[in-house]
Amino acid sequence: MPLRQNGSLRQEDRVDMAPRLHRDALYIGGQWCGASTGDRLVVENPATEEVLGFVPAGGRVDVDKAVSSAAEAAAEWGSSSVDERIAVLRQLGSLLRASTPELAALVTDEVGAPIRFSEKVHLGLPVSVVDSHVSLLEQGALDDERIGTSLVTKAPMGVTVAITPWNYPLHQVIGKLAPAIAAGCTTVVKPSEIAPLSTFMLFDLLAECGLPPGVVNLVSGVGSDIGEALVSHTDVDMVSFTGSTRAGRRVAELAGTGLKKVTLELGGKSASIILDDADLDTAVKATVAKAYQNGGQTCSAWTRLLVPDRLYDEVLERVVTEAASFVPGDPREPATKLGPMVSGSQRAQVLDYIRKGEAEGAKVVAGGAYDVPGMTRGHYVPATVLTDVVPDATVAQEEIFGPVLSVLRYENDDDAVAVANNSRYGLAGAVWSTDVDRASRVARRLATGRVDINGAAFNPLAPFGGFKDSGFGRELGRYGLEEYLQPRSLQL
């Protein structure tokens, strides 16, 4: 049985090691069934570099079966009652809560996220997203709307495809499945080949939720193969993709030939702007945490810190002190705040960016491109701070996807906005000021989809999505639900 390698282990090591989790079936038409190829994907634990498990590498035959199953179920689920959909979502939320310890541990093992972060965010966010869709349905999000002499109704998009990344494997799937279920759509999920195991466990839970066969389907495999087959399939009505901008362009190209609806949540290079009247302690602590959360492997991470020139040295001293608290360690240990990169190739990419930053004139004042002392296994990168970074530098323009924070200077509010907007991305950002009105004025000028003011809490009911190369369409809340609906007007 051939193996496709995703990590850095040698082939003979992979074959000899007994995997902790071995999945040998796909979820299609309401049941687990063997894949057509016999191939499988190896999943590595990035903290130990050992095999964690295997999942099937599906083929185009499996894609056809899954899409056909979703298409056959579309009419029935599309005509289901709101109460039926609420019952499914409530059951899913209950099962996720009950399974949090096991699922959080699995996410930590396959992604390398610190266990406390896995419990709070990797599991906490999916639960809140499911709950929010229950609330939306209860509040009449699908109700007809009267506009003058017209009655506007909302029809489900039909068969949807969800292609998700490895960095937030559960949250990204739930962020697409919850609105699809709520809207009355059927779905085929294609998880990342790097971290698919938690999605398989999620489908174990979905199998208990009373959904009709074919409403949710799971096909794992390589994106360039089955991902493209799913996006191109003639019976698919909508594609929701989260991943790199490069892959997003390819998804849009393929989907465009079939005039399919597409939502894309892509890369980011978000700026955190400290205005000259900000609470520096709070702003620095929150920005550093946001830059390094999930190992920096977060599309909305605040990886550029913009500081007034006159406060630069003072802020930088605080940043370096705060960065020192993010010591790489075993992600299973509750005290660990910084785990490994998801793979050896990801680690190498991050280190290359640090070196390029230095070559272009940036100074490393914390961390750097070196092996972490005492860590003999695992894909670790130290928490890194780069100073003297100019706005057009590579490290200020490209998404590094690792624990690297670039600190930039600016002169005044207008200059801060110009530096923040000097990016092809526009996903998230932050503004810090004791004057909330001033902060809001600056935030409104940022070409980005989401801005946190003074560290405001994440709101699962607010729309999430980007401007420019960060994609289009929105997820979460009412705006995310509407992506899965087609308005239809009845002229009365």
Active site residue 299: yes
Q: Which position among 299, 322, 399, 483 bears the catalytic label?
A: 299
Active site residue 265: yes
What is the 3-class SS of the chain, one letter each residue? Answer: CCEECCCCCCHHHHHHCCCCEECCCEEECCEEECCCCCCEEEEEECCCCEEEEEEECCCHHHHHHHHHHHHHHHHHHHCCCHHHHHHHHHHHHHHHHHCHHHHHHHHHHHHCCCHHHHHHHHHHHHHHHHHHHHHHHHCCCCCCEEECCEEEEEEECCEEEEECCCCCHHHHHHHHHHHHHHHCCEEEEECCCCCCHHHHHHHHHHCCCCCCCCCEEECCCCHHHHHHHHHHCCCCCEEEEECCHHHHHHHHHHHHHCCCEEEEECCCCEEEEECCCCCHHHHHHHHHHHHHHHHHCCCCCEEEEEEEHHHHHHHHHHHHHHHCCCCECCCCCCCCCECCCCCHHHHHHHHHHHHHHHHCCCEEEECCCCCCCCCCCCCCCCCEEEECCCCCCHHHHCCCCCCEEEEEEECCHHHHHHHHHCCCEECCEEEECCCHHHHHHHHHCCCCCCCEECCCCCCCCCCECCEECCEECCECHHHHHHCCEEEEEEEC
Q: Which position among 119, 265, 322, 475 bears the catalytic label?
A: 265
Residues assigned a catalytic role: 265, 299
